[in-house]
Structure 1
Amino acid sequence: MSHLYLCLLLAGLCAFAQCHYTPDHKEDHDHGCSAPAEGERDLPSLKKAPGNADFAFRFYHHVASESTEKNIFFPPLSMSTALAMVSLGARTTTLNQLLSGLGFNQSDTTEQEIHEGFHHLLHILNPSNAELHLSIGNALFTDDQVKLPKKFLDDAKHFYEADVLPTNFKNPAVAESQINSYIGKKTNGKIVDAVKGLDPEDLMVIVNYIYMRANWEKPFDPLHTRERDFYVDEETTVKVPMMNKVSWFETYHDKILSCKVVKLPYKSNVSALFILPDQGKMKQLENALSKDVLLKWMNSTKSQRIDLFLPKFTISGNYVIQGILRRMHITEVFTDQADLSGITGKPEVKISKAIHKAYLNVDKNGTEAAATTAIEIGPTSLPPVLVFNFPFLLVTVDEETDTVIFMGKVTNPTEA
């Protein structure tokens, strides 16, 4: 049987604060992108947001159940986009499992609406400026000896703006070099050697990549970064460079889930939520994670002046995810019963491997700020202190479309 090799990549999501350090005030800031205009809440990309969030949290639950003591980092948007592109050529039970596993109710949302939603989302998220560079794309590396159905290729190009690149899979080493070179270029060199072990029988490699470089709306002053203890668990303590800033932040204390939430916006519509559970409450928090909980946090944060300590860290994720997708009831596409005849024109094709590689760097990165002194005017009373010095969660959300871009858990910030 011939194979499809599915590659799901969040390639180098780097959160950089590259601006001059300036004083902050309590007033609201213009994020540089306007909120959806009246009536735009019905746009296709917004209709698919609940399904994307549902997929994100279900995937996290499965990863967390296997990786209780490890860092977690993955891009639900990257995964759902790649699987949705596969669904263009899926039929019968294989198609139904893919769409249901992605969180779509097919009685409420048509296939056309699903693909239009992804298409619109790509257009909303891809524009870049000096403050936010977000690049999302897709590619099909296809066997140069096989003619694929025109409809599948046209739909992949139209809905997902996929690059279609002929590839000589009979020479796996050459094919791997071609694909990895493409991925490295698209991810600014952050993801290398993503594809290994290609089979001469492979017909196609499907790649989705996301690369993001963003500036904090309120960058951290590097002069205020000091080494501090981070408590990995009751037996393990590591030293980390801890950034510090006293300022107004959007915060929320979730008493029901015993955690504190801080929202750090980038200079865009994208924000990062950092969630710190109370001691011993991480498992309770993870079990409760859902799109409804995320929505509650997003709608409940209030501006508060706090003394925030956040570690600099780099983490990565590297998963072969067939097993996780199977537990999410996406099973048939990996078996000999798969029906991907819309991709190849014949049924004898299945996905042979689905991989994910991800990289995240959170940094103050403000070299121009090193020689800058800032004076912030605020209340004379000492603000409450919030220190992220034991394991915490993070979620990055595009607030214009309610799209979860990535999720993770930092258990040990010194382990990349």
Structure 2
Amino acid sequence: MKITFYISLLLAGLHAVSHGHLPPNHHNGHDPNEPKHHMHHAGEAIACLKLVPNNADFAFQFFKEIILEVPNKNAFFSPVSISTAFAMLALGARSTTQTQILEGLSFNLTEIQEKEIQEGFHNLIHMLNHPESKVQLNMVNAIFLTDKLKPLKKFLDDAKALYQLEAFTTDFNNPREAEKQINDYVERKTHGKITNLVKDMDPQTVMLLGSFVFFKGNWEKSFKPEHTEEREFFVDAETTVKVPMMHQTGRFDFYFDEDLSCTVVRLHYNGSATAFLVLPAKGKMKQLEQTLVKETIQEWSDRLFKRLLSLYFPRFSISGSYEITNMLSKMGIVDVFTDQADLSGITGTPDLKVSKVVHKASLDVDERGTEAAAATAAEIMTMSLPPVIEFNRPFLMLIFDRDTNSTLFIGKIVNPAITS
């Protein structure tokens, strides 16, 4: 009988972030015009960039799985949180279990070695956590272990070195106390954004592995709160809700994709990330969901141009909580959840399996930003009214970190009036 443990993956996201350089280039790596202060990351970036196409493939494949699980509902998750936790788990996996995990994360093991994958994630975490960024982006990995379970020193040393893993002894025989310890830690690490993550813990649990991402940033050009007004949002043919709609007129990165019948607007924030807002034409969301791949994002990036727009975008908060074992199994990560699991690299014996994988993510979008006062004067110089782009029906929001080209968040907002 295998001993079971849980994996929890969290993301707290506040005011998604971006600024005015090229968005992630999933083929060619960094933008050559990138600011010089990023250049000292060059060695780390090379290791990171090896992961870029694979992580992007995983992100969009997982997106297709999650919207099958929650059709016609809000969906929000952090691909980088999920892939990081499972890459860390792969450190302790062996044989077919390890192969399934890495291939399920979209790695081709004939083209990249496990050592390169681990090194890439190590550099990714380090770069995402870099302190000079104007974005608050913290990635935390933690393991909670029963004192009866003695992990191998090599596993702990490697996980600490590669993933900045924090390890804690936890008395799972006292579920209430274990829940409090874990929840207090998570709440502290996510600055109060995610609370009461763990509940109804099984006293048989021996280990909980967690990957947490906390993300906070401000729009480069803020929306003025006095311009926000209640407007209608058309959820579907039968449902209309009132939402606070932010408004801003200015020059935005814009593209209309005729093939996918969708409008793309890129908003910029202070810091190292980029937000793509994608508004499909009525009746075209399904087509967009089914065909969205990393190459689509690259094409949008290449074709964006500055256009004067009157932009309406809802102020909203959404969160998603998912038990993702089934989705990962569909993507080929199977054995680790069964008695076939080989996680002997963690404890030295093959008596562990993963019983549950929980992913929590949340995002708040509001008007806040830090706007350079001198930057606004010359923006509205036309006598004619600019075209109105209003995000008043279901849309996608994709958030990337520009330094690492990582897909931080993918969200489908069907009803911004619903918070979860």
TM-score with structure 2 length normalisation? 0.91
CA distance in 1, matches of 2:249, 2:181: 48
2:175 corresponds, among 165, 172, 176, to 172
Structure-2 residue corresponding to 1:8: 9
Structure-2 residue corresponding to 1:311: 314
Unaligned runs of at least 5 residues, structure 1? 18-29
Alignment pair present for 1:67 and 2:62: no
Aligned letter for 1:340? L
* Cα displacement (A) at 1:376: 5.0
Structure-2 residue corresponding to 1:27: none
* Cα displacement (A) at 1:340: 0.3
Q: Which SS does the other structure have where 2:255 is aligned?
A: strand
* Cα displacement (A) at 1:298: 2.0
Which range is displaced more, 124-133 or 278-287? Answer: 124-133
Cα distance per residue 1:303-361 (max 9 Å; x no partner): 11111110001111010111111111111100011000001111111001100111110
Contact persistence 1:31–1:268 (CA under 8 A): no
1:400 corresponds, among 378, 399, 403, to 403
Structure-2 residue corresponding to 1:144: 147
Structure-1 residue corresponding to 2:392: 389
CA distance in 2, matches of 1:31, 1:193: 40
* Cα displacement (A) at 1:201: 2.5
Cα distance per residue 1:10-48 (max 9 Å; x no partner): 12444489xxxxxxxxxxxx9988555797696111110
CA distance in 2, matches of 1:12, 1:309: 21
Q: Which SS does the other structure have where 1:181 is aligned?
A: helix
Aligned letter for 1:410? I
Alignment of 1:349-388 (within 5 A): 349-365=352-368, 376-388=379-391
Structure-1 residue corresponding to 2:96: 93
Cα distance per residue 1:153-211 (max 9 Å; x no partner): 01110110010111112212111111111000001111111112322322211010011
CA RMSD of aligned residues (A): 2.3
Structure-2 residue corresponding to 1:112: 115
Contact persistence 2:147–2:170 (CA under 8 A): yes
Contact persistence 2:87–2:102 (CA under 8 A): yes
Q: Which SS does the other structure have where 2:282 is aligned?
A: coil
Q: Which SS does the other structure have where 1:202 is aligned?
A: coil
CA distance in 1, matches of 2:36, 2:265: 21
Structure-1 residue corresponding to 2:128: 125
CA distance in 2, matches of 1:367, 1:228: 25
- From the superposition, tell whether residues 31 and 238 of structure 1 become closer, same or farther in structure 2 (CA, over 3 Å): farther
CA distance in 2, matches of 1:361, 1:343: 37
Alignment pair present for 1:293 and 2:296: yes
Structure-2 residue corresponding to 1:52: 55
2:243 corresponds, among 240, 253, 269, to 240
Q: Which SS does the other structure have where 1:43 is aligned?
A: helix
TM-score with structure 1 length normalisation? 0.91
* Cα displacement (A) at 1:117: 0.6
Contact persistence 1:36–1:400 (CA under 8 A): no
Q: Which SS does the other structure have where 1:274 is aligned?
A: strand
Aligned letter for 1:242? M
Aligned letter for 2:148? Q
- From the superposition, tell whether residues 333 and 141 of structure 1 become closer, same or farther in structure 2 (CA, over 3 Å): same
Contact persistence 1:224–1:243 (CA under 8 A): yes
Q: Which aligned segments of 4 or more residues in structure 1 are displaced greater than 3 angstroms?
A: 12-17, 30-42, 128-131, 365-369, 373-377
Q: Percent identity?
A: 48
CA distance in 1, matches of 2:103, 2:94: 13
Q: Which SS does the other structure have where 2:109 is aligned?
A: coil
CA distance in 1, matches of 2:9, 2:35: 30
CA distance in 1, matches of 2:193, 2:205: 26
2:286 corresponds, among 280, 283, 288, to 283
CA distance in 2, matches of 1:109, 1:367: 42
CA distance in 2, matches of 1:249, 1:180: 41
CA distance in 1, matches of 2:341, 2:61: 23
1:320 corresponds, among 323, 326, 332, to 323
Contact persistence 1:221–1:366 (CA under 8 A): no
Contact persistence 1:31–1:266 (CA under 8 A): no
CA distance in 1, matches of 2:293, 2:59: 9
Contact persistence 1:4–1:203 (CA under 8 A): yes
Cα distance per residue 1:106-157 (max 9 Å; x no partner): 1111111111111111111112458411111100111122221011101110
2:305 corresponds, among 302, 305, 316, to 302
Aligned letter for 1:317? G
Structure-2 residue corresponding to 1:411: 414
CA distance in 1, matches of 2:88, 2:105: 12
Aligned letter for 1:348? D
Alignment pair present for 1:79 and 2:82: yes
Contact persistence 2:222–2:371 (CA under 8 A): no
Alignment pair present for 1:231 and 2:234: yes
Aligned residues: 401
- From the superposition, tell whether residues 177 and 33 of structure 1 become closer, same or farther in structure 2 (CA, over 3 Å): farther
Aligned letter for 2:56? A
CA distance in 2, matches of 1:184, 1:137: 12
CA distance in 2, matches of 1:316, 1:33: 36
Cα distance per residue 1:342-383 (max 9 Å; x no partner): 0111111100110011111000036999xxx97854222221
Q: Which SS does the other structure have where 2:97 is aligned?
A: helix
